[in-house]
Every structure is written in C-alpha cells, then in structure tokens.
C-alpha cells in the first residue's frame, strides 16, 4: 500500500477467506492441476464436437485406429440438424450407411477433362434422368454434409461439388452455406485416378478446400493398438520412415509359413479369390451355394453387387473361415451380437441360417440381411444375403476400416501411397502381424506429409 510520503507500508499476510484462497490458486501446484484438467477437457475429440456443433466446417483426421469413425457416429447421433453422409466410393459409402458423393449430388461421373464447371452443370441440367433431379434436390435441402474417406475424392471433383452447392442453393458462400464435415486420412488410400501416369489430385490442393476454411482436428491417441513399440513403429511406417527400432520391430514379423487359417491381405482380387477357393476346396464335406435374393432396377443392383463386401453367390462348407460384413445389435444387450470384420467358423448351413462359432465359443445363427440401394426409398434395389464372406483372404482396399486380431500380409506389390500402411495398421497386436517377405520400401505421398505439417 502506497503512503503519502512515498514509502510503502508492509502488506499484511492474507488469511484464509481474506485473499489466502487467491494465493493458493496462484501456486504452481494448483496450476499443475488446472493444466491437467485443461488437457483432459481440450482434447481433439472434444474440440471437434464443439466446433462441429457450432456449425464450423471441420476436417477430422488421424492415423488408423484413432477413432475417427466413432467420433463421426457420435456427432451424427447427437446433431440437431439433418446430416447427410457420403463417401467417394461405393465400398466406403456402404460402410458408413450413406451414398456416394456423386449419387448424392446427382453429378454422375463429374466434369470431363478440360470441361468447365458451368459447361458440365449445363450438361446435367439438360439430362432428363430422375437421379440427377433427385440429387439436385438433396443438395438444396442439405443441412450438414459428411464426406467420409475424403482422401479418395479427387480435388477436381470436390471443386465441382462446391460449385454445385453454390449454384443450386443460390448463395455465394463456400458450399452455398452448407456445413461440411470431412473425415479421413490423406496418408492412407489416395484419390482415384484413371491411369498410373496421372498425378494424384488431392482434395486438400483444391481451391474448394481453401474456400471451405476447414478447421483440422488430428486425433492422436491410438485405440486399436496398445503396445508402445508397435504404436511408434506404425507411426513411422505411416510417413515412410522404416529405420532403426521401427524396422527391427517390423522385420521380426517376417514368417514364411503362418497358420493356413490366418487371414491374408493381398493387393489384387485375383489373389484373394485364388486363396479363398483353394482353402475351401481343402475342407471335407459338401459345399453349400447360397444365392442372394435381389430385386429392383438393374443399374442399382450392379452397384450393390460391385461394392458390397458380401458376395451375391456365397460358397460355404462346415469349417470355413468367415467374417461378418455388418454390425448387428440385439435389443436389450449392451454388446453387439457381431461386428463387421469379426471372424468365425461355419458349423453348419441350414435353410434359413448359417450357424457360426466365434472366438469366444459362442454359437450364432446368422440370418439373411437386406441392403438397399437407398435406405429412404422402399422402391430402390434390394439385396438380401447372409452377411458373411470367406475370410482366408481379402484385398487391402476392402479391409479399410476393419480391425483384425491377426493377418498375413503380402505388401510387396503395394504401389499406391498409403496402401501398405492401411494393411499393417489393421492388426491389433504385434504378435498378430505377419509379413510374407520383407519389403524394399513404403510408398507415401510427400504432398500429404507436408499437408499434415501445416495441419498440426
């Protein structure tokens, strides 16, 4: 306290209730507690939900197994507005219960080479197909648009989607004022391209990406794996850094003769079909051939047949290794009956069910499941089949989003950036990871690596 003569009087020591609480608040120990609380509350997950609920355009990203799909489902379930879910490919769209971005917008295949947005928009307006009109109406009504697996959407097509939203909604704001939630990992599967000579057209390089002013949220806690050394090795592998301890850890998993029942991940369908067919032929007993019940427009059925994980013709025998292709919950039960990607062994094939024994020893009667081309339209194509597939082998592309207890990988022919990482990061434990042979290198995108340096 300042005195009139310029001297300072001694300040009395504050007592409890007279400022002592304030001093205690300023003590280092107390601030350490607040920092811990802030760290617990200000997580990327919580920040994403806060911004997404506030109407901000968001990009939710992170390495494989960090819970992107879980956070997206939580946002959709809690949103007060109508959320339209899309993805660039049929497989990805069916995995999230949505539709392809092309079908949602009524944009067909998108602009051709050298074709302007205006030219292609005029072409669509002249096209009499009902699917285009229906797509245009969805764009006009859309409140929140989710684009899952955004890494596979070419930047040129994202640019046209953004243009289409502005034109059809009559507003100059980015995407016509519609909120956009993009999810995915640019260090996993890359955008689709027509030939190997084309450069990758990344969505984050599109003018539409910059115009949307996405706020990026990078999930960092890996939930699929919990072994620190394996988690670090996967993080290095994701950016193409396979040296030192990471290389030693992964190289220790090279095996020439794994159990024949272990799921294998290949780069091409022909390898998958050959191995599944061989393994099935080795089993004794009669083979059951189960056909899907299909009805509806031919073009829609072609889409379902091409993109569903479950085949239209399912070949099974007792003893066959299978994986479930959907999630199924039982009323009143906390745990799901089975989940997409879970493995089991066929015990018997009945007229109206396939009996499958899972790892826990539980026996499940699996009945037919019906997929629809459009879940909101009862007149659209339907595909009814037992939600199973042979699981001795699958392609890396169709393993996207799955978690596997074990897998035998042949990634020597993985030429797409991020393709090898998708395969390796599917496996939950180091002891469950097996390589056929050691690989010479890992393909990654330098553009994607630079993008993530800015995103953080």
- Tell which residue, 308, 436, 312, has the closest CA to residue 372: 308
Whether 149 is in a domain gets the answer yes
Whether 443 is in a domain gets the answer no
Tell whether pTM > 0.85: no
Whether 409 is in a domain gets the answer yes
Query: What are the residues facing 217 on neighbouring strands?
Result: 60
Tens of pLDDT, residues 374-422:
877 888 899 999 999 999 999 998 888 788 899 999 888 888 999 999 9
Q: Are 189 and 245 part of one and the same domain? A: no
Tell whether the model's pLDDT for residue 34 goes beyond 70: no
Q: Are 182 and 243 part of one and the same domain? A: no
Tell whether the model's pLDDT for residue 23 goes beyond 70: no
- Give the model's confidence band at 434: pLDDT under 50 very low, under 70 low, under 90 confident, else very high: very high
Whether 352 is in a domain gets the answer no
Instruction: Find the range with the poorest average confidence among 38-52, 201-215, 310-324.
Output: 38-52
Q: Are 282 and 214 part of one and the same domain? A: no
- Give the model's confidence band at 40: pLDDT under 50 very low, under 70 low, under 90 confident, else very high: low
Burial of 239 (0-12, 13-18, 19+ CB in 10 A): middle
Q: Are 108 and 201 part of one and the same domain? A: yes
- Give the model's confidence band at 29: pLDDT under 50 very low, under 70 low, under 90 confident, else very high: low
- Give the model's confidence band at 3: pLDDT under 50 very low, under 70 low, under 90 confident, else very high: very low
Instruction: Find the range with the poorest average confidence among 28-42, 126-140, 316-330, 332-346.
Output: 28-42
Instruction: Find the range with the poorest average confidence among 308-317, 335-344, 434-443.
Output: 335-344
Count: domains in the chain: 2
SS3 label, residue 359: coil
Whether 304 is in a domain gets the answer yes
Q: Are 121 and 203 part of one and the same domain? A: yes
Q: Are 107 and 53 part of one and the same domain? A: yes
Whether 385 is in a domain gets the answer yes
Residue 433 has a pLDDT of 96
Residues of the domain holding 103: 44-219
Q: Are 106 and 198 part of one and the same domain? A: yes
Tell whether the model's pLDDT for residue 169 goes beyond 90: yes
Contacts of 113 (CB under 8 A, 6+ apart): none
Percent of the chain scored above 90 by pLDDT?
70
Classify the phi-psi angles of 27: left when phi > 0, otherwise alpha if psi is within -120 to 50, otherwise beta.
beta
Whether 329 is in a domain gets the answer no
Q: Give me Rg for the CA atoms of the chain.
A: 26
- Give the model's confidence band at 250: pLDDT under 50 very low, under 70 low, under 90 confident, else very high: very high
Helix segments in 269-410, DSSP class H:
269-281, 298-307
Domain stops at, among 219, 248, 263: 219
Contacts of 440 (CB under 8 A, 6+ apart): 412
Distance CA 434, CA 423 (A): 11
pLDDT, mean over the chain: 88
Q: Are 267 and 189 part of one and the same domain? A: no
Q: Are 196 and 244 part of one and the same domain? A: no
Residues in the chain: 456
Q: Are 199 and 269 part of one and the same domain? A: no
Residue 445 has a pLDDT of 95
Distance CA 92, CA 263 (A): 21
Whether 62 is in a domain gets the answer yes
Residue 139 has a pLDDT of 97
Q: Are 80 and 195 part of one and the same domain? A: yes
Q: Are 376 and 245 part of one and the same domain? A: yes
Domain stops at, among 219, 252, 270: 219
Contacts of 306 (CB under 8 A, 6+ apart): 90
Distance CA 442, CA 240 (A): 5
Tell whether the model's pLDDT for residue 315 goes beyond 80: yes
CATH of the domain at 155: 3.40.50
The residue assigned the tokens 């050394």 is 229
Tell whether the model's pLDDT for residue 20 goes beyond 60: no
């Amino acid at each position: 306290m300042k005195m009139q003569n310029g001297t300072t009087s001694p300040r009395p020591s504050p007592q409890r209730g007279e400022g002592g609480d304030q001093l205690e608040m300023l003590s280092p120990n107390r601030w350490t507690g607040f920092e811990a609380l802030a760290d617990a509350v200000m997580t990327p997950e919580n920040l994403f939900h806060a911004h997404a609920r506030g109407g901000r355009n968001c990009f939710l990203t992170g390495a494989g197994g960090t819970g992107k799909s879980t956070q997206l489902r939580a946002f959709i379930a809690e949103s007060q507005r109508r959320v339209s879910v899309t993805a660039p490919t049929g497989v990805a769209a069916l995995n999230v219960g949505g539709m392809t971005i092309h079908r949602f917008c009524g944009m067909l295949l998108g602009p051709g080479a050298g074709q302007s947005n205006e030219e292609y928009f005029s072409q669509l307006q002249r096209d009499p197909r009902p699917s285009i009109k229906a797509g245009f109406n969805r764009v006009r009504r859309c409140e929140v648009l989710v684009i899952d697996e955004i890494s596979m959407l070419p930047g040129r097509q994202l640019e046209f989607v953004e243009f289409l939203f502005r034109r059809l909604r009559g507003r100059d704001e980015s995407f016509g004022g519609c909120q956009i939630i993009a999810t995915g990992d640019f260090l996993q599967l890359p955008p689709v391209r027509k030939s190997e000579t084309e450069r990758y057209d990344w969505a984050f390089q599109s003018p539409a990406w910059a115009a949307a002013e996405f706020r990026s949220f990078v999930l960092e806690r890996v939930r699929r794996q919990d072994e620190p050394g394996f988690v670090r090795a996967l993080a290095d592998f994701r950016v193409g850094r396979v040296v030192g301890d990471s290389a030693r850890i992964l190289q220790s998993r090279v095996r020439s003769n794994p159990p024949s029942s272990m799921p294998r991940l290949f780069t091409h369908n022909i390898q998958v079909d050959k191995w599944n067919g061989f393994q099935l032929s080795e089993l004794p007993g009669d083979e059951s051939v189960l056909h899907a019940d299909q009805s509806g427009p031919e073009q829609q059925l072609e889409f379902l047949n091409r993109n569903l994980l479950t085949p239209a013709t399912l070949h099974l025998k007792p003893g066959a290794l299978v994986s479930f292709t959907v999630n199924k919950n039982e009323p009143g039960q906390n745990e799901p009956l089975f989940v997409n990607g879970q493995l089991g062994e066929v015990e018997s094939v009945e007229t109206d069910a396939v009996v499958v024994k899972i790892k826990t020893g539980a026996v499940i009667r699996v009945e037919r499941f019906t997929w629809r081309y459009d879940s909101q339209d009862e007149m659209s194509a339907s595909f009814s089949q037992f939600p199973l597939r042979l699981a001795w082998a699958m392609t890396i592309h169709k393993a996207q989003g799955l978690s596997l207890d074990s897998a035998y990988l042949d990634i020597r022919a993985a030429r797409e950036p991020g393709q090898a990482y998708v395969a390796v990061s599917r496996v939950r434990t180091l002891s469950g990871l097996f390589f056929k042979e050691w690989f010479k290198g890992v393909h990654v995108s330098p553009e994607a690596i630079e993008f993530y340096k800015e995103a953080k």
